[in-house]
Amino acid sequence: MRNEKTRIKIGEIDYGIFYSVILLLAIGVVMIYSASSYYAMFKEGDSMVYLKKQIIWSVTGLISMVLMMNHDYHKLKKITPHLLIIAIPLLIAVFFFPAVNGAKRWIQLGPLSFQPSEYTKYVVVLFLAMSLDLKGDGVKKFWTGIVPYLGVSGFFAALILAEKNLSIAAIIMIVTYIMLFVAGGRIQDLVGKVAPVLLTAVLFFIFGESYRRARMLNFLNPWKDPAGDGYQLIQSFYALGAGGITGLGLGQSRQKTLYMPEPHNDFIFSIIGEELGLIGCLVIILLFILFVWKGIKVAITAKDNYGTLLAIGITSIIAVQAIINIAVVTGSMPVTGVPMPFISYGGTSLVINMIAMGILLNISRQCNK
């Protein structure tokens, strides 16, 4: 078994990961300005208000990434328990702040806001990587090697679910499942026992809330309620259809002119499709594929099991979010609020994702070349 006692040799970062992230970030900044300019002028009186904020967050994220990629990831083990404990009051604190769009997900302090669920999903990955590394072959035992981790992840997922954030709660459980598989969990346990339970839970929570049930039914036929629950998805279809192969041209979207609600957020991929066409969408998808491929390669060649599990967890979060976002925008699954990593507008998500990229890059610096 590989462990962190193996001699550590600091080398170069994985430039495939680095450049794919930088390109996605650059595309995000450009497309946020393009998608939000009309909306920002109408709502805020300044067409560049969202661009200015995103640039500040992007620079903050880049600085954080550089700092973390030069910080030995093994040192994170010492603070992981504290980070996990801190997540609990943060997730509870959101209930003392006003709801935004019917959901309590943010801690708002003046002009600044923080979304604890974005922080929590990576903290859970840090905990799983550390604990599963210590558990070793013990993960092959169902009741003592798999159930406790599902319990911990399920606890945090439940807190996030109480905020009416099913998407992030689902991502935490999906990534937990992936990490248990990579750690050595038995296929018969994960497929025969865990998967049916998780699937049943997802269906229960979807159909247990009226607004989620409405989303599911409208996903199957959004034209049944074109002015209500099906509106956003229909506008996404219009945007993607209008873009065709080559797009209408950068800045030429029609759906962003107050047809698409908040076009710079979760549905920014549809605006990209409208302005840059299928070609632009494929470029973004290929960049995510490159990132995932390189992330898996880093996990395979990591110096120790902790590095492998941490790399898989970080890569999985980005991969799962990207897949869900693209699936939602293209009508392949029910509408849910999952931002596209590095591209959708949002400070908390971007900065925390960039910190995670710094950790992943540091793991790549210590890989067996």
Residue 5 belongs to a domain: no
CA angle, 38 then 41 then 46, to 5°: 130
| 1 in any annotated domain | no
Answer whether residue 2 is part of any domain. Answer: no
Residue of 181 and 99 predicted with greater confidence:
181
Residue 231 located in a structural domain: yes
Alpha-carbon distance of 86 to 149, in angstroms, equals 18
pLDDT band at 3 (very low <50, low <70, confident <90, very high): very low
Query: Any idea which residue has 């279809």 for tokens?
Result: 237
- pLDDT for the residue numbered 369: 62
pLDDT band, very low/low/confident/very high, at 10 (cuts 50, 70, 90): low
Can you tell me the distance from the alpha carbon of 187 to that of 206, in angstroms, rounded to the nearest whole number? 27
Report percent pLDDT > 70 for the chain.
96
Give the integer Cα–Cα distance in Å for 95 and 99: 8
Bridge partners for 108 per DSSP: 113
Are the C-beta atoms of 125 and 355 separated by less than 8 Å? no
Greater confidence, 190 or 217? 190
User: Does 5 have pLDDT greater than 70?
Assistant: no
Q: Using one digit for the tens of pLDDT, what is the confidence trace for 100-142?
A: 766 788 888 877 788 999 999 999 999 999 999 999 989 999 9
- Domain count across the chain: 1
pLDDT for residue 98 is more than 90: no
> What secondary structure letter does DSSP report for 53?
H
pLDDT, tens digit, for every residue of 14-57?
A: 999 999 999 999 999 999 999 999 999 988 888 899 999 999 99
Q: Which amino acid is at 150?
A: L
- The answer to whether position 173 is within a domain reads yes
pLDDT of residue 218: 75
pLDDT (mean) for 287-307: 96
pLDDT of 356 higher than 90: yes
pLDDT score, position 299: 96
- The pLDDT value given to residue 20: 97
Q: What is the DSSP letter of 107?
A: E
Q: Which residue did the predictor score with more confidence, 368 or 40?
A: 40
Could you tell me the pTM of the whole model?
0.92
Per the domain annotation, does 133 fall within a domain? yes
Instruction: Give a yes or no: residue 8 inside a domain.
Output: no
Residue 9 is predicted with a pLDDT of 54
Rounded CA-CA distance 20/295 in Å is 11
Residue 151's contacts (CB-CB under 8 Å, 6 or more residues apart) are none
Counting Cα atoms < 13 Å in the Cβ hemisphere of 348 gives: 17
Domain containing residue 337 = 15-365
Does a structural domain hold residue 283? yes
Q: What is the mean pLDDT of residues 264-280?
A: 95
User: For 194-222, what is each residue's pLDDT tens digit?
Assistant: 889 888 887 787 776 777 777 777 777 88
Is 268:343 a contact under the CB 8 Å cutoff?
A: yes
User: What is the pLDDT, as a whole number, of residue 7?
Assistant: 44
Question: What angle do helix axes 116-135 and 76-93 make, rounded to 10 degrees?
Answer: 140
pLDDT digits (tens, 9 = 90+) for 156-175: 999 999 888 888 999 999 99
CA neighbours closer than 13 Å in the CB half-sphere of residue 1? 13
Summarised one tens digit per residue, pLDDT across range 220-264 is: 788 888 887 788 899 999 999 999 999 999 999 999 998 998 899
Q: What's the pLDDT at 6?
A: 41
